[in-house]
Amino acid sequence: MNRKIKNILQFGCTLMCITIFFSCSDDLLDQTPKDSLTEELVWTDPQGAIQFVNGIYGGMQSGFDRNYDGWAKGLYLLDGCTDDGDVSMGWTHSTRLQNAQFTPDNVPWGQTWGDYYGLIRKTNLALENLDRLEDETLRSRLKGEVYFLRALCYHSLLRLYGIKSNGGEPTGVPIIDKSLTLEDDLQIARSTYDDVVSFIITDLDTAASMLPSKGNIEAGRATSGAAYALKSRVLLYAERWAEAATAANNVVGYTLYPDYKTLFLDKNNDEIIFAKKFQNPDKTHQTNAGGTPNAGWDVYNSPNTFKGTSDGGWGGNLVTQNFVDSYDMADGEPQATSTLFDSNNPYDNLDPRFEATVVHNASTFRGRVIEMFEGGREGDPGAFMNTRYFLRKFHDENLVLYSHSSDQDWIFIRYAEVLLNYAEAQNEDVGPDTSVYEAIKEIRQRAGITNPDLPAGLSQSEMRDKIRNERRIELAFEEHRFFDIRRWKIAQSLLDGKPIYGMTITKNPDESFSYTKMEVETRSFPERLYVLPIPQSERDKNPAAKQINGW
């Protein structure tokens, strides 16, 4: 048998190599680390069981720590492979994905498939053993958390490697619902897309019935609200519109945070439904630097013109002009029709979320004015700012680069997404009724748009376009658009052979600026790119899992 398979199946390795990324209880954090954990100790000792489940939380991949050969985590987001973003470093995996320059032998983020199935194995082990705990309340809660985490793993796999199909060959991912042994048949075929969705929904329903609600469990752990919120997303992707709307309506106890900019920095606020916790309370030890000391999001996503104790930033995730053009004005009107738009000052009077999301020429970032113009500090080609925009979202602008690690939490699900899920599902199910208008208005009102109401009398198709653009703006660079344009089947029309734009900026003698849209690159998006292939190394272990969609 393949040695890698044997390694994966060794139960002891799973028990003895738990890494804790999750914010745990004080009692657990104060414990002396154990050199080894026996099976009996893990499943009969409450702290051992909690520690095992914490390891599953910590293993969940996010935009801040996706496995990129073990380092430079947070250097890119999946949005860099959409019309909204670009990645400054040409050697990153995302560049291969942007232009479809890969095969199953070198799939971008190729560890992802194996990483998730490794986590699924841990969830199966936990569900098979947690009944050994005598504490009934803790046992039930932990099982609820694990059902939620298993559902999240399968959802993550399905939206990367599966595709909704109207028939024909199975286009889901293999379902493994038990911890496999060397005696089991390890050749496991793909299930259908609908069967995987049903499996996920069953896990989420079970989780919702076992988990406490918000406020009755430690921040960062799964809640019943998180289960319903993820269920709304899974059903939305599956185009089960009425069920998705109902699931969204079951998410209660959350509100929109008043300030769009700081909601990503204020941990545990009332908009956050589920987040991956990165804890670095005294800011003296790196937690999510990903291999570069005292680094993380802020270092990897600031220009190299911001010098730290060792070096400048890395450029990281850039914003495109395509994305900037999608913003409405502050009065709620599109740029093309609003009297507020001024082509000589194109960043004035935009939807306030623009300034909270994008760093542009003449804006202030980390205490100084940004110079994206030709000859300016950030306009120099060596600054890697090829689109002449980069992200403000997620940044802790008070953090001194390279002095401490970034420790922002990655928000997997927040209440604004649930409102958008509801609006889309309800519009697709019954059309643009009053509840759809109200959901979108609530989000635009929080954003600070002076007239947050959408025009009355929109058709279903017109409302669909409004909702899609609202998702684009509100959830920007939270790794939703990557999946949205795929499930909507518009990625090819947006990206294949189509240009990605930036902005050429010239400083005039009178200190004003002239702006000219420029083409940065042209992307490729063949039909097969709607789904990622299974890495060939994983298919070598499990040939029964066939490639789909032309791979």
What is the full DSSP assignment across 308-353? -SS------EEE-HHHHTTPBBTTS-BTTT-TT--TTSTTTTB-TH
pLDDT at 19: 34
Question: Coil, helix or strand for 350?
Answer: strand
Where is pLDDT greater, at 403 or 468?
468
Phi, psi for 40 (deg, rounded to 5)? -65, -40
Dump pLDDT digits (tens) for 314-356: 888 999 999 999 999 999 999 999 999 999 999 999 999 999 9
The answer to whether 310 and 403 are in contact (CB under 8 A) is no
Dump pLDDT digits (tens) for 475-524: 999 999 999 999 999 999 999 999 999 999 999 999 999 999 999 999 99
Beta carbons within 10 angstroms of residue 332's beta carbon? 18
Where is pLDDT greater, at 19 or 221?
221
Q: In this structure, what is the dihedral angle of CA atoms 221, 226, 227, 230, given to the nearest 10 degrees?
A: -130
Distance CA 539, CA 381 (A): 41
Distance CA 208, CA 230 (A): 11
Q: Which two three-digit tokens encode residue 342?
A: 């001024």
Closest CA to 319 of 71, 93, 65, 520: 520
- Determine what percent of the chain is predicted with pLDDT higher than 90: 76
Where is pLDDT greater, at 185 or 142?
142
Weakest mean pLDDT among 12-16, 122-126, 214-218, 453-457: 12-16
pLDDT at 541: 95
pLDDT average, residue stretch 272-299: 69
Closest CA to 276 of 543, 139, 470, 73: 73
Instruction: Kindly indicate the confidence band of residue 3, based on its pLDDT and cuts at 50, 70 and 90.
Output: very low
The answer to whether 427 and 436 are in contact (CB under 8 A) is yes
pTM comes to 0.91
pLDDT at 96: 86
Q: Which two three-digit tokens encode residue 446?
A: 């929080």
Contacts of 510 (CB under 8 A, 6+ apart): none
Dump pLDDT digits (tens) for 455-476: 999 999 999 999 999 999 999 9
Beta strands in 464-550 (DSSP E): 499-507, 513-522
Give residue 386's Cα distance to chain centre. 24
pLDDT average, residue stretch 527-549: 96
Instruction: Kindly indicate the confidence band of residue 177, based on its pLDDT and cuts at 50, 70 and 90.
Output: very high
pLDDT of 283 above 90: no
pLDDT at 72: 61
Say which residue the tokens 């400048």 belong to: 312
DSSP 8-state secondary structure symbol assigned to residue 51: H
pLDDT at 241: 98
Dump pLDDT digits (tens) for 51-79: 999 999 999 999 998 877 666 667 789 99
pLDDT at 92: 75
pLDDT average, residue stretch 121-144: 97
Mean pLDDT of the chain: 89
- Sign of the alpha-carbon dihedral angle for 228, 232, 237, 238: positive
